[in-house]
Amino acid sequence: MSDTFERLKGLLVSRLKLSVGEEVINMDTTLFGPGGLGLDSIDVLELVVGIKKEFGVDITDRETAEKIFTSIGAIVGYIDEQRRIS
Which residues are catalytic, by number? 40
Please check whether residue 71 is in contact with residue 28, taking contact to mean a CB–CB distance below 8 angstroms.
yes
DSSP 69-82: TT-HHHHHHHHHHH
CA dist., res. 80 & res. 86, Å (int) = 10
